[in-house]
Structures are given as structure tokens and as C-alpha cells.
Structure 1
Amino acid sequence: MKQCCLLIIACMAAYSSYAQQLHGRVADAQTKEALPGVNIKLLHAAAGCNTNAAGKYELTVASTDSIEVSYTGYLSRKIAAKEMAAMPVVYLQQATTNLNEIIVSSSRDKQRRTEAPVAISTLSPQTLNEAKAVTIDQVLNKVSGVYMVDLGNEQHTMAIRQPIGYKSLFLYLEDGIPIRTIGDFNHNALIEINMAAVKNIEVIRGPASSLYGSEAVGGAVNFITASPTLVPTAKIQLEGSNWGYKRTDFSVSNTVKKVGFAVSGYYANQSNGYMDHSDFHKLSLTAKVDYQINEKNKWTNAATLINYKTDQTGGLDSAHFFAKDYRNFQTFTYREVKALRVRSTLEHEWSSSSHTNFTVFFRNNTIGQNPFYAIKDIRGTLKANGQINSDGFNSYGLIIQHKKQFAWKDAALTAGVSADYSPATYLANYIDITKDAAGYYASYRATDSVLTDYRVGLLNSAVYTQFEFSPVQRMRVVAALRYDQMDYNFENHLTPSAYTGAPSERNNFNAFTPKVGLTYDLGHQRGLYANYSVGFAPPNISELYTGVKVPVLKSATYQNYEAGGWLGFAQHKGYADLSVYRMNGTNEIVSVRNADGVYENRNTGATTHSGVEWNVKYTPLPSLFIRSSGTYAVHIFKAYNDGNKIYTDNQMNGAPKWITNTEITWKPALIKGFRIGGEWQHISKYYMDAANTSVYNGYDLFNARMGYAFKGFECWLNCMNIGDQLYATTAEKSAYGKTYRIGPRQTFTFGVAYTFTGK
């Protein structure tokens, strides 16, 4: 007996000397951010752990053990215990053809992609890094069903499940918070995004009003900013083009104990381009500080500053467009944007199944311009009328959200309240313009004449809830409902007239927006989903108060029905997803001409939007990556009468049926760090006017990208529009003729970057 006890004690002593306490951190290989919830397990024993909120883990292992490190959306790693003990940080690579990634935009909280019954796509950090985009459209147009229209110098408009247009049918978010206020939509809003701070982008196609409220009709685009890195990092990036474009990016980030910080930004400048009067400059800065107070509390503060100014060019008429005559008759028109956004978020975890987020935010935004589209010639003279205007607002808002998970049917309930008070002002002054004999708008004279001067108090208060559960195995049902109350308090500081605007007035709008959907997992990386959702867009300030009489308007409403599915194939080498939808719009606001010749806004429009969207990713070889995404859609006027002509049953103008984007990238194993790829963007023909009398034939655009990375050094060369093709990003016909917005010519962009990464 004594000998047995001695043997047991000896074995325990031997094991204690043999075992070791393994500890370290896990981070994303691309962003260097901590990864919470990563599974660390022994391959040959029933033992393991998960990383905490700071990406840290602790595990008792033997020196001969092997360990698997795995996380949803990432490539798993198998590492020997001895090797892992020497790694202060384990880096995981995102899977390029993974379907079941983690998303946050569908429910305002982390969830698996395959549990969300919506059409949603993600642009990963790797995609953003390799694209080296100088404008956001160069990456967003990779998403199925998306056509972001380049209007020059980061100016843009959007088409997602809608024709090319300028209406408030798209919601742009930064970390889940709208970057502009309700009722003051601007199609150029993404000028206010700092791309140097963006980690990844999520795009919801179709209505998302049940969670985010107004304007999330055609889609919602959420720009998710980078969080502080686990280890010290610093990056500097320089690039330039053959058309005088120059840009410098920088970022610095680190985490020290409980506090992490990230600062990033860029300065871009364009001068002496191929088109006259097309210079611009932009400064973007973003700072973020995370304070992990303890395991249950995290405090995040972030601020973004944008300072932007550009010359305005406008479109070309048919003669100048097809003659490749890039002269611009504007010599002084401009657009200037100054924006500041600040937010503070406190996250509290009550338990493993219950947590609350509390966010307060502030926005200050001003757009000043001398717009080309406001210039009107005085017939028979070399004179014209114009204006210099300024549109600005301040926002004071909060969002409180709580989520509770239940054991019953794996259910979860999310509930939230939000409020956004944004007093907005608009001021426009008349200018007297002189033309020269060649037709150039040569100069202008400012006057004391005030055309418009008003203030609007915009208040949007809302409550929302979402409930999800699994009634049977492999099925997930989601139901959501939101109520919005929108109050407009309009104060006209001038005597009301057709020029100065309507009399002072109070207006209010409200909307219930439901959503119900389900997903069904068929197994083997296959699944189906379906949903019904409603989106709405209240009248904008300009639609309500332009003119003498305040029109009686309702919010435009869109009912969306869709179904789709996903499929993994070729032994996890590829996947495909598909969405089919039908969206019906009613009470759409149309400018109608009355019998007296005066135009008035009315809720008389109705449209239908039907289409199919697809996305395919495939890696037939480890070094070869193929992606193809696109949409086939039909957009029809079901009721449209402008008081002069009836366009019912016509195809909507600016609505190409086919939009596709295909890309092939090769990363040869023999040259580690090298990549080369080609991209094909196709836009099919579409009508230029509502009467369907003129057609633009669309275009095919080819781009190429090449890059090389070695340790912290990186260089690249992008060629956009390889064939120097003449094309228009928009083509429109009006009573004044046809107008083409010229697409960028063949552009070579070369850049170098160096990234320092500490330990």
C-alpha cells in the first residue's frame, strides 16, 4: 500500500512538472484586433477554453499536446503546445470563401450570417486592403445588386434595388448610427466617410426600417470602423495617379492594459485632371478609444472629422461627350463639406445571456456650395442667375438597446429606443453671373439679396423590438417591429413666396414598420431564407417647404417580399448565395404640374421593383480566387403622372436590367506576397427618360490590380478603365436635352506603404 501511494505521488509530481499553464492572445491577422470568443481546445483531450473580451486565454496543457484554434469566419489553426507557448499572439486569417461569417448590421448585434433572413453582403478587411480603392464605389460595386455611381471627386449617388436616382431611399451608417439626420438626405453623404478608418462594410439590400427607421428602403450600408489593435501598429501610405491625384494615409493603434486607441486618416488632393475645373481636396481624421473597465463593462468613444472642398463640373451634352471634349464651362462652382461626428457607447453585460448598450452621439454638418445646377441663363444676354447656399444641422441623439437570450427554443429578444433632435438651417443668396463670348461662366457678383432663409427643428423618436427563436431544429424565425414619430417645426425667416418658401408650419409623420422572416439550415452548408419587410421614407425638407403652399404629404412606403438561399460546394472551396425579391412602392412623391403651370409635390407615384441577385466565390486552386456578383432587375412605373404626361407601365429611367461585377485574382505560391487580378464591370442599357424615348447603351469596364507585400512593406499598381473607354456613369434626358456624366478615363494609381507591427 505504501509503495502504491509513493507511486501515485511520484506520478502526480511528474505530471505537475510536465504540465504547463499556457496563456496568450488571439487577433485578426489583417486588422490586429482582438478576437473574443475564439475556441481554444486540446485535440486529444476534453479540455479547452474561449478567449475573453480582450482576446486573452489561459489553458493547462502538456508539452506534447496539440491545440486547435478556431473561430467562425476564420481559418482554423492546429499548433503544437511548445510552438504556441512561444506565441504571445496567435493570428487567424479570415476565410475568403466562407459563408457563415459574423455580421452585426442585421440585428444590431453579433450573429451568424446563416441565421439572418436578409440579403446581406460583407466586404472584408482583406478585400478593402487589396482593392486599394481611392473612392468607395470601387469596392461597393463588388457587392451584388449595388451600383454606386461615381460623380467625380468622391461625389456619388446610389442604386440598390432602385434605379439611379437622388431620392432618400438609402441609409448610410457608421458603426450602426446614421451619418446624417432624418429629413435632410444628401445623395453625396458618403463624402463624410473616412475610408482610412473603415475595417469592413456590410450592405443590407432591401428595407431595413424595422431596426434603423426611415430611408432604409433600397438598402442600408454600414461602415464599421477599426478598433484598437492588440499590439502596437503604425502605418504610412502614399499614392498618386497620372491625373494629378495625390493621397497620404496614416494610422496608429495600440492597447495598453485596459485602454486601447486608434487614430487614422488621410489627405487627398486632385489638381490638373483631364477635365477642366475638377480639382478637390479632402482631410479625414478618426480617433477611437476603448476602455475595457472590467469583464462586464466596456466604454468606447469615437470622433470623425471631415473637411472637403471640390470644384463642380456637371454633365456634358451629347456633342461634347461623344467628341471627348472635356472642357468645362463652369469656372467657379464648388461644393464644400465640413462634418464632425462624436459618439460614446457604454456596453454592460448583465450575464452571459443579457447585455445592454447605451450610446449618445453628436453631429455637426455643413454643406456650402455655389451649385452649377442652380445656374439659369437669361435668354438673349451674356448674363445668368445663380446662388450660393449653405445647408447645416446639429444633432443630439441617443440609442439604448437591450438583448436577452432564453433557454426556451434558443430564443432572443432585442428591444431599443432612440431619439434624434437635429435643428437644421438653410440660407441661399442670389448671385449675378457673367458669361463670355465662348459660353464660359466667367465670373459672378455676390449680392445682398436673400433667396431662402429658414430653420427646421427635426425630431425623430422611435422604439423597436425584435424577437427570434427556433421552433424546430435547424429553423430560425425572426420578427421585428419599429414605430417612428417624426416632427418637423419649420420657421421661414422671409416673407413666403414661390422663391423664399412656404409659411412657417409644423408637420409630423409616423410609421409602423414590421419585418418577419425565417431561415432553414439544410445541412452541408446549404440553407434557405424568406422574409417580408416594410421600408418608408418621409418627405425631405426640400419636398415639403419649396413653394408657397405646404403640400399635404405622407411618407412613401415600400413593401418587400424576398426569398433566397446559400450553398457551399467543392469541399469548402466555394459558396454561392441567391436572392429573389419583389418590392412595391406607394405614396411616392412626384412633382406634378397643375393647371396654372405651377409644380407641386404630391403622393401620386407607385412603382414595382423585381429582381434576382447572386454572389459566387470559388477557389479552384489555393492560389486562384474567382468572384462573380450581380443582379437582373426590372423597375416599372405603376402610377406616374407629372400633370402633363402619363408614364404608367413604362420602365423607370436610369434602371439598367443587368449589373454584374466579376473578378479573378492570382496569388502564385512561388512569389509569396504577390497578387495580380482583373475585374469586369458591366452596366446594361437603360432608358434616359420616363417616356422611354431615349436609350443609353451602358458600358463594360475593365480594371486591373497588382501588388506585392514583403514583411511590413507593400507596393501596388492599379489601372482603372484599362481600355480608356468613353462611358457615362449617368445618362439623362430632359426638356433641355441629353446630359452625360463622364466616367473616369484610363487611370494608373501607384502606391507604397509601410506597416510597423510590434509584439
Structure 2
Amino acid sequence: MTRLAVTGLAWLAASLILAGGAAAQPGGEADDVVVVTGTRSGEAADATILPVTRIDAETRLQTSAHHPSELLARVPGVRLHRGNGAEHLTAIRSPVLTGGAGAGAFLFLEDGIPLRAAGFANVNGLFEALTGSSGGVEVVRGPGSALQGSNGLHGVVNFLTPSPAETADGFEAELGSFGRRRGRMVIARPGDTVSALFSVAGQHEDGWRDAAGLDRVEALVRIDGETPRFDWRATAALVNLQQETAGFVRGPDAYRDLDLARSNDDPEAFRDAQALRLALTLNGQADARTHWQVTPYARANEMDFLMHFVPSEALEESGHSSVGVLGSITRQTGWGEWVLGADVEASTGTLRETQSRPTIFSFIQGEHYDYAVDSALAALYGQGQWSLSDALRLQAGLRLERIRYDYDNRLADDIVGRYQRVADRGDAYDLVLPHLGISWQIGPSSHLVTRLARGARAPQTAELYRLQPGQVTDGIEPETLDSFEVGYRRAGVRLDWSLTAFAMQKRNVFFRDADGFNVTGGKTRHHGLELALEWQASTTVTLNLAGSWARHLYDFDQPVTTASETIRAGAEIDTAPQWLWNARARWQPTARFSGELEWSHMGRYFTDAGNLHTYGGHDLVHLRARYQWREDVEVFASVRNLLDTRYAERADFAFGSDRYFPGEERGVNIGVRVGF
């Protein structure tokens, strides 16, 4: 076990001992849906100007999700392509983004604090989230508010830790196909002035593909307290991941061949990662109208990853640690409220890449990269909300953010094979992030909302300093995305629904083309419609629908030597399905039994930038059921991919061949919950 994991377990154990002194009381739940991602102070979900969806803890129990993709598919315009184990690629009002673009395009938070520092994002970033222990998830589609900074480009995902005062003790265990075993335990101790919670969750799977097992453990301690002058919340989270990794299968429709789909050409590939996060949030009242909040935090993560998808099969060893503070003051006025805040953070990251196998082509045996980067972030922001009338509200915000990197190359400044080691240097980037929104209540339960916003991401350190010959760091600018949207929301007694239209333009798009060169001035366009609906069809049946239609287009030309990867303005971006649907029917004939049937649709998409090859899409059906056997004992079961459909989680065309991450065949799980 690594030093990071040992340190984290020691902190968790000490916190649990402190938690033991609080007296036990039963938990409860709030009736109103409140979201906190846009303001940190909370506001009603149906009135917020941000396009935010909340997935509560009850939905997580209903889903019994093995992977965050199962939860986030319930949000319109959102889809995760699941890789092997905990791996994933994300789409939120976007194509499914890969590499550095995918790493920095989405901001993943825990209680409003980024899981990673801005320049050290990971394309599989949600494997570090508390997916099994969270008290809810909030998803913002498109740029966030002034409170969120770099990486909040296409969307924000905020995992919320559960409140000790509103969470019951419980235990659950689950067994299933492909050697799956999953368990979770929660101990909550609500008290008059101090409440505490300890949660630990673990999962194991042998893998439905060869040599593709997974072991993942997460632990959370949260302690809430009250004093005469302020309230406080302390959290500690630890995630440990060990997985074997299966790569692509190749050939036309290779995913349809079950023997081929189960195979793994890279049985030695693996990903081992640990993440530790500590935070202390202090809340107080300066006077009757003024509220302040200060949150110091620290994080550390490290990962060893065998890069099985390139001929070198090099070992990547990376990690970074950070300390930071979030601070804000919120003032209530006669016309609304305003908030002023500042965020500061200092981080140190390292990356080392080593090839042990003999030299092949330009993939040279030995050390490729070994560098460290010190990063500093400072941000100021202001956001105000004005009630122009009883029905009309205006929200405006502005965030100014500066990110600086100081890079230290630990190897010779030269070119070795296909690897260019940049000389020591410093780089700084300034982000200006405005947003403006209006909410108009046009009826007792209807709102019309419109919003203009800009999102941005600073270049990632791996994009700047992990170069190939012919590439340069100079000229790489922050990506910006300008978004306009208009939406209608209606909340009724039996029917809630919303419809949102959006149009976005992204500039300074950075990626590496099929020839291996940096593209620094790309442009893309995005527009679409999103629908969310919940209908209480009868006293026993509830229907939910989350769907989107969108087009994601290149807005520039980029010729390359491979015709299938030549970019033309107006062409569809690869891996950008126009249609995404998720529909669920929930049946609860008695207070003790409920069942859910889910249909998930992935539309057709192009698998190359030249729009010469396609994946036809797929439809999946899942079945879930819960039965309250006794007052505090529940039995649950699920059948994923009920119709045993042959499909691809991800399809791609590269190196002259169709490539697929094959989708999992039908799997059955059954489990029991005690408490909760």
C-alpha cells in the first residue's frame, strides 16, 4: 500500500474515533429540491438560472450503479462512454471527448471543490469521485457560474457528501455476473452540536473480458459541528483503484463476435491510482444579512498506468498535490443578493514516462519524460442576483482567473526518437469568464430562462510539456466556449418538464491531429435541444424521459495525410451522436415493492474526422427491482442489457481499422440492504 493510502487511512481512523462521541438519532430528508452548485448557498431547482439537474441519494439506491455512467445517463445531453473497469470518456453538450480535450473540458467537483487542479485533469476523472458514497450529484450542462473556473467548459459535475444528520446507518452487499462483488457500510451519529458519518464502499469484478479485473475502495468521513459564532464541516475522502485494462478489438463490427469481444490483446495493461482529499468548511453570519464561507482544503493523487494503446507500452507515473482556500461573502439586499469571492491554490505535479520494451520504430527504449510542474492559481469573482419584479430575476457574474506553471525538466533538453523534452520555462494564462441570465416566471409553475455564458480551460500541463518533434509550447492558448441558451420549465402536480435550446461556439480548440502535430487554432460549433420530463401517470406508475438532439460541427479546415482524418468546416465531429435518449418506467404497486424498466438509446455517429466511417448506434434495456422484506431489510436485483444486445461502448476508426470497446453482455445482480 502506498504512503498516500496509509496516510489517508490513518486520518480516516482518527476522524472516526472523534465521531464516536455523538449521540445517535434517526435521519431525515428534506422535501424540497435544492441545488447548490451555482451559488454554494442553495436555491430551488425549478427557479435556478443554471441548467442544473440533481440526482439524489434515493436515485443512486434505485440504480445500484456500478459506474457513474449509469447515473449520468439520466441527465439530458449527457453520456459517458464506459471503458474497462472504472475508465470512461465524457460528453456533456459535446462530442465524446478524448485526450487533453476530454481531461480539461469538464469540471468534476466534490462539495464544490475540484477533484483535481486545473492543469492536471484526467480524462477518466470520475474514477476518483465518491460514486458509491455520495449524497447526491448535481450536473450543470454548459459553462458553470462565476463560482467555477478553468475546466468548466462543457459542463460541471458536483458530487455531494451525505449529511450525517440526514443519513441513516446501513449496510449493503451485492453479488453478480462476471465475479462482481460490491459492498457498502454507513455509520451515522447525529448529535445536538456535532454530527458525524463514516462510509466505506468497495467493489470487485473479475471482468467480463479476459484479464480485465477491477478492485476499487472508497472511504469518507464527514463531521459537522455548530458553535455560537459559526458552523463547520470537515471531510476526508480516500479512493484506491487497482484494475487490469482491456483495449480495443479491431475489425469491422468486431464487437458482434462474442469470442473476440471477450478477448484482450493487452493482458499486462493496468491502472493503479490513489486519491486523498481533506477539506474544512466554515460558515458564519457577519450580521443578519451577510454570510461568509471559508474552505481550506488539500488534495493528493498518484497513478501508475501502462500505456497499452501505443506501441511503446510505456509506464506512466504521475501525480500532483495541492493546498488551497475558497472564500466568499454573500449579502442579502432589498433587491436581491450578491456574492464576492476569491480562490487561491498551489500545486506541484510530476510525470515520468519509461519504456522497458525494446525500441520499436521511433518509440525508444528508456526514459521518455521526467518533469515537475509547480502551479499557482488565483481567482476573483463577483455574482449578483436582482429581483427586477415579482416575476423577473436577473443574474450576472464575472470571474477573473490567472494560472501560472513553472516547469522543470529533469532530463536532458533534447529529442529522443519521437519524444521532445522541453527546456525549463514558465507559462501563465488569464481567463475572463462572464455570464448573464434572466429568469421570468410566466405562470404559477412556469419559468422562461435565458443565459449567456463563457467557459474556458487553461492548457493542460501534459499538452504543454509532453511534446513530439516539431511541436512547440508557444502559441497554445486557453480554449474558450461561448454559450447561449433559452429554456422553458413547468412544474405541475403530476407532470414536470423542461425544454432547452442551446448554441455554442468554441475557439482555440487544441488537439493533436492524425499526423501527430499540435492544432492550436481550431474552432467548433454546437447546437441542440434537451428535454427532461417526469409524469406521474397513475398512483403506481411514474415515467421519466431525458433526451437530446444536437449537432457538433468542425468550423475550420485541417488537412492531414490520412483522408479519414482530414477536417473540413461543416463536417460532423467524430464520436458525436445526434440523438441521446433515456426513458424509465417505474412501477410501485405496493409500499414494499418497486420495479424500473430503463431504455437507453445511443444514436449513430461518425468514427473519424473525415466522416467516412460510422457506428450505427444501439439500444439497451435494463430491469431493476426492490422489495422491502422487513422494515429495515431490502432485497434488490437488476438485469443489465436485458436483451443481450451486441454493442460497442465506444467505436473509433484509426490506423486504417475499425476499433471498438465492446459492450458488456447480459449480467444479473442481486443484493440486500439493511438500514438506510
Give matches, 1:598-617, under 5 Å. 599-617=516-534
Give the 3 Å change call, closer, same or farther, for CA 687–236 of structure 1 in structure 2. same
Mapped to 1, the partners of 2:460 and 2:531 lie a distance apart of: 33
Q: CA deviation at 1:92?
A: 5.6
Q: Corresponding residue for 1:703?
A: 622
Counterpart amino acid of residue 636 in structure 1: L
Q: CA deviation at 1:681?
A: 0.2
In structure 2, which of residues 61, 85, 88 is the aligned counterpart of residue 156 of structure 1? 88
Instruction: Work out whether residues 189 and 197 of structure 2, in 8 Å CA contact, stay in contact via their aligned partners in 1.
Output: yes
Mapped to 2, the partners of 1:468 and 1:209 lie a distance apart of: 12
Instruction: Work out whether residues 115 and 476 of structure 1, in 8 Å CA contact, stay in contact via their aligned partners in 2.
Output: no
Give secondary structure in 1 for the equivalent of 2:403.
strand
Give matches, 1:220-231, under 5 Å. 220-229=156-165
Q: Corresponding residue for 1:490?
A: 407
In structure 2, which of residues 376, 380, 387 is the aligned counterpart of residue 459 of structure 1? 376
State the Cα deviation string for residues 303-346 of structure 1 (Å, max 9, x = none): 00111111110111125423222211112110011110000111
Instruction: Work out whether residues 146 and 433 of structure 2, in 8 Å CA contact, stay in contact via their aligned partners in 1.
Output: yes
Counterpart amino acid of residue 434 in structure 2: P
Mapped to 2, the partners of 1:697 and 1:487 lie a distance apart of: 44
Q: CA deviation at 1:354?
A: 1.2
In structure 2, which of residues 196, 201, 216 is the aligned counterpart of residue 266 of structure 1? 201
Q: Corresponding residue for 1:582?
A: 503
Instruction: Work out whether residues 535 and 557 of structure 1, in 8 Å CA contact, stay in contact via their aligned partners in 2.
Output: yes
Does residue 248 in structure 1 map to residue 183 in structure 2? yes
In structure 2, which of residues 438, 450, 464 is the aligned counterpart of residue 530 of structure 1? 450
Give matches, 1:529-678, under 5 Å. 529-547=449-467, 549-569=472-492, 572-591=493-512, 599-644=516-561, 645-669=566-590, 672-678=591-597
Give the 3 Å change call, closer, same or farther, for CA 90–218 of structure 1 in structure 2. closer
Instruction: Work out whether residues 26 and 190 of structure 2, in 8 Å CA contact, stay in contact via their aligned partners in 1.
Output: no
Instruction: Work out whether residues 207 and 535 of structure 1, in 8 Å CA contact, stay in contact via their aligned partners in 2.
Output: yes
Instruction: Work out whether residues 455 and 490 of structure 1, in 8 Å CA contact, stay in contact via their aligned partners in 2.
Output: yes
Q: Corresponding residue for 2:6?
A: none
Query: Which has the higher mean CA deviation after the structures are superposed, 151-160 or 496-505?
Result: 496-505
Mapped to 1, the partners of 2:289 and 2:548 lie a distance apart of: 39
Q: CA deviation at 1:592?
A: 5.3
In structure 2, which of residues 51, 54, 71 is the aligned counterpart of residue 139 of structure 1? 71
Instruction: Work out whether residues 465 and 482 of structure 1, in 8 Å CA contact, stay in contact via their aligned partners in 2.
Output: yes
In structure 2, which of residues 354, 359, 365 is the aligned counterpart of residue 429 of structure 1? 354
Does residue 278 in structure 1 map to residue 212 in structure 2? yes
Counterpart amino acid of residue 313 in structure 1: A
Q: CA deviation at 1:642?
A: 4.9
Counterpart amino acid of residue 314 in structure 1: G
Q: Corresponding residue for 2:236?
A: 303
Mapped to 2, the partners of 1:646 and 1:203 lie a distance apart of: 31
Give matches, 1:8-27, under 5 Å. none
Mapped to 2, the partners of 1:389 and 1:558 lie a distance apart of: 31
Mapped to 2, the partners of 1:200 and 1:332 lie a distance apart of: 36
Counterpart amino acid of residue 507 in structure 2: T
Q: Give the TM-score taking structure 1 as reference length.
A: 0.81
Give secondary structure in 2 for the equivalent of 1:198.
coil
Q: Corresponding residue for 1:51?
A: none
In structure 2, which of residues 411, 436, 449 is the aligned counterpart of residue 516 of structure 1? 436
Instruction: Work out whether residues 198 and 225 of structure 1, in 8 Å CA contact, stay in contact via their aligned partners in 2.
Output: yes
Give matches, 1:43-62, under 5 Å. none
In structure 1, which of residues 381, 397, 405 is the aligned counterpart of residue 324 of structure 2? 397
Q: Corresponding residue for 2:15?
A: none
Answer with 1 or 2: which has the greater Rg.
Answer: 1
Instruction: Work out whether residues 398 and 420 of structure 1, in 8 Å CA contact, stay in contact via their aligned partners in 2.
Output: yes
Give secondary structure in 2 for the equivalent of 1:332.
coil
Q: Corresponding residue for 1:121?
A: 53
In structure 2, which of residues 292, 298, 317 is the aligned counterpart of residue 362 of structure 1? 298
Give the 3 Å change call, closer, same or farther, for CA 112–158 of structure 1 in structure 2. same
Q: Corresponding residue for 1:20?
A: none
Structure 1 segments unaligned to the other structure (5+ residues): 1-87, 96-100, 377-384, 436-446
Q: Corresponding residue for 2:21?
A: none
Counterpart amino acid of residue 427 in structure 1: R
Task: Count matched residues.
Answer: 631
Mapped to 2, the partners of 1:536 and 1:563 lie a distance apart of: 21
Give the 3 Å change call, closer, same or farther, for CA 126–425 of structure 1 in structure 2. same
Mapped to 1, the partners of 2:267 and 2:616 lie a distance apart of: 31
Mapped to 2, the partners of 1:602 and 1:149 lie a distance apart of: 25
State the Cα deviation string for residues 455-497 of structure 1 (Å, max 9, x = none): 0111111011101111122111000000010101111111123
Mapped to 1, the partners of 2:519 and 2:66 lie a distance apart of: 40
Give secondary structure in 1 for the equivalent of 2:569.
coil
Give the 3 Å change call, closer, same or farther, for CA 592–693 of structure 1 in structure 2. closer
Mapped to 2, the partners of 1:733 and 1:317 lie a distance apart of: 9
Off by >3 Å, runs of 4+ in structure 1? 88-95, 642-646
Q: CA deviation at 1:93?
A: 6.7
Question: RMSD of aligned C-alpha atoms?
Answer: 1.9
Counterpart amino acid of residue 299 in structure 1: W
Mapped to 2, the partners of 1:486 and 1:681 lie a distance apart of: 40
Q: CA deviation at 1:195?
A: 2.4
Counterpart amino acid of residue 217 in structure 2: L
Mapped to 2, the partners of 1:433 and 1:706 lie a distance apart of: 53
Q: CA deviation at 1:89?
A: 7.2
Instruction: Work out whether residues 133 and 201 of structure 2, in 8 Å CA contact, stay in contact via their aligned partners in 1.
Output: no
What percent identity do the matched residue pairs reach? 23
Q: Corresponding residue for 2:315?
A: 388
Give the 3 Å change call, closer, same or farther, for CA 655–475 of structure 1 in structure 2. same
Give matches, 1:55-454, under 5 Å. 94=31, 101-166=33-98, 167=101, 168-208=104-144, 210-229=146-165, 233-271=168-206, 273-294=207-228, 296-318=229-251, 320-324=254-258, 325=260, 326-374=262-310, 376=311, 385-407=312-334, 409=335, 411-432=336-357, 449-454=366-371
Mapped to 2, the partners of 1:91 and 1:419 lie a distance apart of: 36
Instruction: Work out whether residues 686 and 698 of structure 1, in 8 Å CA contact, stay in contact via their aligned partners in 2.
Output: yes
Mapped to 2, the partners of 1:89 and 1:280 lie a distance apart of: 35
Counterpart amino acid of residue 150 in structure 2: S
Mapped to 2, the partners of 1:739 and 1:178 lie a distance apart of: 33
Instruction: Work out whether residues 591 and 642 of structure 1, in 8 Å CA contact, stay in contact via their aligned partners in 2.
Output: no
State the Cα deviation string for residues 423-464 of structure 1 (Å, max 9, x = none): 1000112111699xxxxxxxxxxx993221000111111011
Q: CA deviation at 1:117?
A: 1.6
Give the 3 Å change call, closer, same or farther, for CA 466–209 of structure 1 in structure 2. closer
Q: CA deviation at 1:640?
A: 3.8
Mapped to 2, the partners of 1:713 and 1:309 lie a distance apart of: 31
Mapped to 1, the partners of 2:135 and 2:512 lie a distance apart of: 40
Give secondary structure in 1 for the equivalent of 2:440.
strand
State the Cα deviation string for residues 537-560 of structure 1 (Å, max 9, x = none): 111112111235423211011100
Does residue 718 in structure 1 map to residue 638 in structure 2? yes
Does residue 748 in structure 1 map to residue 671 in structure 2? no
Q: Give the TM-score taking structure 2 as reference length.
A: 0.90
State the Cα deviation string for residues 573-613 of structure 1 (Å, max 9, x = none): 111011100000111113358xxx7x432322100000000
Give the 3 Å change call, closer, same or farther, for CA 605–520 of structure 1 in structure 2. same
Give the 3 Å change call, closer, same or farther, for CA 638–749 of structure 1 in structure 2. same
Give secondary structure in 2 for the equivalent of 1:211.
coil
Mapped to 2, the partners of 1:748 and 1:574 lie a distance apart of: 33
Query: Which has the higher mean CA deviation after the structures are superposed, 189-198 or 720-729?
Result: 189-198
Mapped to 1, the partners of 2:153 and 2:587 lie a distance apart of: 37
Counterpart amino acid of residue 399 in structure 1: L
- The one of the two structures with greater contact order (alpha-carbon pairs below 8 A, sep at least 6) is 2
Counterpart amino acid of residue 515 in structure 1: H
